[in-house]
């Protein structure tokens, strides 16, 4: 049974969001020099934990900034590094409608050539809706993917897991871990999400609500909390344009059933 969950945000990233010569994936900016420092501080934090508290598996969003953040920890602790599209970045509902869809996140098979440390044993559990998500929608997706992650960890015998994802996703996940109800029950709960921060959640029974042990810990980072983000940065009805009406999504899931379409 999964008893301990560490949830980290990716390290400090660049602001540019367009594809570049060395990365053909849209909306996937790399880490900054500060971010490259933070990922080693994060790894040192996990390396310093007692053996019975260290994660046994690392599960990352497919975006480059998250994989880079996860790599040093996986390497230092000799852990399998897996990729889950359901932990990907949040994009608001597509608007205007004729602007197309948002890009689908990659699976492990698409990133392993760039990151050989990535394991392809983990198959995708869920994909975000390419039409975008409302704020309640990303919370529903976080809850849904966590239920599937929990079941797979049970199958694999994983008790302690590290998730590396994005600010919106980890805030949504942190909130939904702490309720057996709906988004409305936890919408005002504060989840800290600075770059390379870590929150810890524990439980002793699969029927329990997760308990937060610490919230967005950055005590191990020389510069403390940086670039903290929360949903207050965007309006409740936020929207975003898609990739264009003629854009081809090379990483769309093979099975439409894997796309999360919440009934809100």
Q: What is the pLDDT of residues 139-185, one digit of tens each?
A: 999 999 999 999 999 999 999 999 999 999 999 999 999 999 999 99
Residue ranges of domains in the chain, CATH in brackets: 4-258 (3.40.50.1240)
pLDDT tens per residue, range 10-48: 999 998 654 444 456 889 999 999 999 999 999 999 999
Peptide bond into 86 cis (omega under 30): no
Q: Are 9 and 230 in contact (CB under 8 A)?
A: no
Greatest pairwise CA separation for the chain in angstroms: 53
Which of 52, 58, 34, 54 lies closest to 44 in space, CA to CA?
54
Tokens 């040192």 belong to 44
Residues 6+ apart with CB under 8 A from 157: none
Q: How far apart are CA 169 and CA 35, in angstroms?
A: 19
Q: Where are the alpha helices (DSSP H) in the chain?
A: 33-47, 64-76, 108-111, 135-156, 167-177, 183-186
């Amino acid at each position: 049974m999964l008893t301990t969950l560490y949830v980290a945000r990716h390290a400090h990233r660049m602001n540019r969001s367009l594809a570049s010569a060395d990365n053909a994936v849209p909306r996937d900016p790399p880490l900054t020099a500060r971010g490259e420092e933070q990922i080693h501080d994060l790894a040192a934090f996990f390396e310093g934990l007692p053996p019975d508290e260290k994660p046994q598996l690392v599960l990352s969003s497919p975006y480059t900034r998250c994989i880079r953040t996860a790599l040093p920890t996986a390497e230092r602790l000799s852990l399998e590094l897996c990729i889950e599209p359901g932990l990907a970045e949040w994009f608001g509902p597509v608007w205007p409608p004729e602007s197309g869809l948002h890009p689908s996140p990659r699976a492990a098979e698409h990133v392993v050539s760039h990151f050989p440390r990535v394991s392809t044993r983990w198959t995708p559990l869920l994909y975000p809706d390419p039409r975008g998500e409302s704020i309640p929608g990303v919370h529903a997706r976080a809850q849904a993917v966590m239920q599937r992650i929990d079941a797979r960890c049970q199958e694999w015998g994983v008790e302690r897991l590290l998730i590396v994802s994005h600010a919106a996703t980890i805030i949504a996940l942190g909130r939904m871990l702490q309720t057996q109800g709906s988004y409305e029950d936890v919408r005002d709960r504060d989840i800290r999400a600075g770059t390379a921060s870590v929150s810890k959640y524990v439980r002793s029974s699969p029927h329990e609500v997760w308990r937060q042990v610490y919230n967005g810990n950055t005590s191990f980072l020389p510069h403390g909390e940086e670039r903290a983000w929360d949903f207050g940065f965007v309006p409740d009805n936020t929207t975003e344009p898609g990739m264009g009406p003629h854009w081809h999504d090379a990483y769309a899931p093979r099975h439409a059933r894997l796309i999360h379409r919440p009934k809100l």
